[in-house]
């Protein structure tokens, strides 16, 4: 059973931003694919008085190059990510995540901005984007600002987005030569499963020396997080199997998982170590 709400079908970005600007804080919610929001409405987990539907807002769509960066509109769907040669060339980890995301019907409607904004620590597009140093463009009627994804979350389902802002776009730098990224989603099934542990890595290696390391962990803390201490162990160092194993162990130490119906905290922590070692090792070998 739904509580009553008004629905605005915004014709363009200006109209969507005007609705958000005129509304009073949390009383209005952007509606993208609805694959989270409609479920939450039906369960009574949120009761916005007004929804602003973004389906007609063309300015929030599109995948393209923007100088040294790749830029995708916030309304890009998971299926559109999978169909993009530019995403495949610059963000293989994001493609791996998109491939394991839900089922076909949900992939056709679920959007990147909706995945980021829902704030779930198990949101599957977030670890690869975090490891790619993605930045968000937050648009409002007052103007736009850029926020690194690494600075977006403030706690479980809390973020820095103001109620009058939309996630208009997501951008990441094109990878340097020798850089590799990958993602692994561990779930109870191969398809349509909520993530138990998600690990994304992005590694750049120059003649055996790691010049850039990113390790992002999903579903093992209140927010998707970067394992910064583990990254610091790798950067500037000549890679060895022992160093990679030690960094993976450090990454597991940076997680703060919980027990739930899908897995125990101990299992989650163990799988962070196993997956981080495997992904880092693979990226190192492929990049050197
Ligand atoms: C059967 C099923 C399977 C699923 N499987 C997965 C899975 O494998 N992996 C996974 O990560 N998730 C999964 N999900 C969750 C969901 O599909 C994703 O989180 C999806 O990306 C949400 O996007 P959406 O466009 O549907 O967002 P919506 O439901 O429309 O919105 C979600 C939240 O984001 C806000 N929002 C939407 N667009 C914007 C914007 N541009 N700016 C600011 N805020 C915005 C909304 O107000 C709302 O709070 C699944 C859901 C279902 C129902």
Domain identity same for 138 and 220: no
Q: Tell me the residue range of the domain where 11 lies.
A: 6-53
> Distance between CA atoms of 263 and 109, rounded to whole angstroms?
28
Q: The whole model's pTM is what?
A: 0.97
210 and 276 housed in the same domain:
yes
Q: Which pLDDT band holds residue 190 (cuts at 50, 70, 90)?
A: confident
For residue 1, tell me if it sits in a domain. Answer: no
CATH code at position 282: 3.30.390.50
For residue 118, give the ligand 1 atom closest to its CA. 33
Q: What is the pLDDT of residues 216-264, one digit of tens each?
A: 999 999 999 999 999 999 999 999 999 999 999 999 999 999 999 999 9
Domain shared by 220 and 135, yes or no? no
Residue 125 maps to which CATH number?
3.30.465.10
HEC profile for the chain?
CCCCCEEEECCCHHHHHHHHHHCCHHHEEEECCCCCHHHHHHHCCCCCCEEEECCCCHHHCCEEEECCEEEEECCCEHHHHHHCHHHHHHCHHHHHHHHCCCCHHHHHHCEHHHHHHHCCCCCCCHHHHHHCCCEEEEEECCEEEEEEHHHCEEECCEECCCCCCEEEEEEEECCCCCEEEEEEEECCCCCCCCCCEEEEEEEEEECCEEEEEEEEEECCCCCCEECHHHHHHHCCCECCHHHHHHHHHHHHHHCCCCCCCCCCHHHHHHHHHHHHHHHHHHHHHHHC
Contacts of 226 (CB under 8 A, 6+ apart): 130, 131, 150, 214, 215, 216, 217
How do residues 117-136 score in pLDDT, each as one tens digit? 999 999 999 999 999 999 99
**Are residues 163 and 85 located together in one domain of the fold?**
yes
Q: What percent of the chain has pLDDT over 90?
A: 91
Token pair of 269, please?
């922590």
- Beta pairing class for 28-31 and 143-148: unpaired
Do 159 and 88 have their domain in common? yes
**CB of residue 101 inside a 6 A radius of ligand 1:** yes
CA of 251 to the centre of ligand 1 (A): 27
Q: What is the CATH number of the domain that holds 21?
A: 3.30.43.10
The answer to whether the CB of 230 is under 6 A from ligand 1 is no
Average predicted confidence (pLDDT) for the chain:
95
What is the pLDDT at residue 208? 93
Residues 166 and 214 placed together within one structural domain of the fold: no
34 occurs within a structural domain? yes
Residue 42 lies in a domain: yes
Looking at the fold, whether 162 and 209 belong to one and the same domain comes out as no
Q: Sorting pLDDT into bands at 50, 70 and 90, what band is 87?
A: very high
Whether ligand 1 lies within 6 angstroms of the CB of 87 is answered as no
Exposed / middle / buried, residue 163 (Cβ in 10 Å: 0-12, 13-18, 19+): middle
Percent of the chain with pLDDT over 70: 98
> 29 in ligand 1 pocket by Cβ < 6 Å?
yes
Q: 274 CA to middle of ligand 1, Å?
A: 28
Query: Are the C-beta atoms of 215 and 281 separated by less than 8 Å?
Result: no
Nearest CA residue ID for atom 32, ligand 1: 114
Report if residue 148 sits inside a domain.
Answer: yes
Query: Among 271, 253, 251, which residue's Cα sits nearest to residue 262?
Result: 271
pLDDT of residue 83: 98
pLDDT tens across 58-84, in order?
A: 999 999 999 999 999 999 999 999 999
Please, how many CA atoms are within 13 Å of residue 60, restricted to the half-sphere of its CB? 33
Domain-ending residue, one of 140, 173, 206: 173
For residue 119 and ligand 1, the question of a CB distance below 6 A is answered with no
Let me know whether 163 and 69 are in one domain. yes
Domain end, chosen from 152, 173, 194, is at: 173
159 in contact with ligand 1, CB cutoff 6 A: no
Domain boundary among 145, 173, 201: 173
Of the pLDDT bands very low, low, confident and very high (cuts 50, 70, 90), residue 22 is confident
Are residues 201 and 280 located together in one domain of the fold? Answer: yes
Q: Residue 286's pLDDT band (boundaries 50, 70, 90)?
A: confident
For residue 74, is it within any domain? yes
| Contacting residues for 31 by C-beta, under 8 A, at least 6 apart | 7, 37, 51, 52, 53, 54
Kindly state whether residues 16 and 41 are assigned to the same domain: yes
Domain assignment present for residue 33? The answer is: yes
CA dist 183 → 200, 216, 288 (Å): 4, 9, 19
Q: Are residues 134 and 187 in the same domain?
A: no
Are 187 and 208 part of one and the same domain? yes
Q: How many domains are there within the chain?
A: 3
């Amino acid at each position: 059973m739904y509580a009553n709400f008004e629905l605005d079908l915004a014709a363009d970005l200006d109209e969507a931003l005007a609705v958000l600007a005129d509304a009073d804080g949390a009383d209005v919610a952007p509606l993208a694919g609805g694959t989270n929001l409609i479920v939450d409405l039906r369960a009574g987990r949120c009761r916005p008085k007004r929804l602003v539907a973004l389906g007609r807002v063309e300015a929030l769509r599109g995948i393209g190059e923007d100088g040294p960066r790749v830029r995708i509109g916030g309304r890009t769907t998971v299926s559109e990510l999978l169909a993009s040669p530019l995403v495949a060339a610059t963000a293989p980890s994001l493609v791996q995540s998109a491939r394991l995301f839900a089922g076909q019907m949900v992939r056709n409607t679920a959007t990147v901005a909706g995945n980021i904004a829902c704030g779930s620590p198990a949101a599957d597009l977030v670890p690869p984007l975090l490891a790619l140093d993605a930045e968000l463009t937050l648009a409002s009627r007052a103007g736009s600002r850029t926020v690194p994804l690494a600075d977006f979350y403030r706690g479980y389902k809390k973020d820095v987005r103001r109620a009058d802002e939309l996630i208009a776009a997501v951008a990441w730098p094109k990878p340097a030569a020798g850089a590799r990224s990958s993602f692994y989603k561990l779930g109870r099934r191969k398809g349509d499963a909520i993530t138990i542990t998600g690990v994304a890595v992005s590694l750049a290696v120059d003649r055996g020396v790691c010049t850039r390391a990113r390790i992002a962990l999903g579903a093992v803390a209140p927010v998707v997080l970067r394992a910064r201490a583990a990254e610091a162990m790798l950067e500037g160092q000549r890679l060895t199997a022992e160093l990679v194993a030690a960094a993976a162990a450090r990454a597991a130490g940076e997680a703060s998982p919980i027990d739930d119906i899908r897995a125990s905290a101990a299992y989650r922590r163990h799988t962070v170590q196993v997956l981080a070692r495997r992904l880092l090792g693979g990226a190192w070998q492929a990049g050197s």
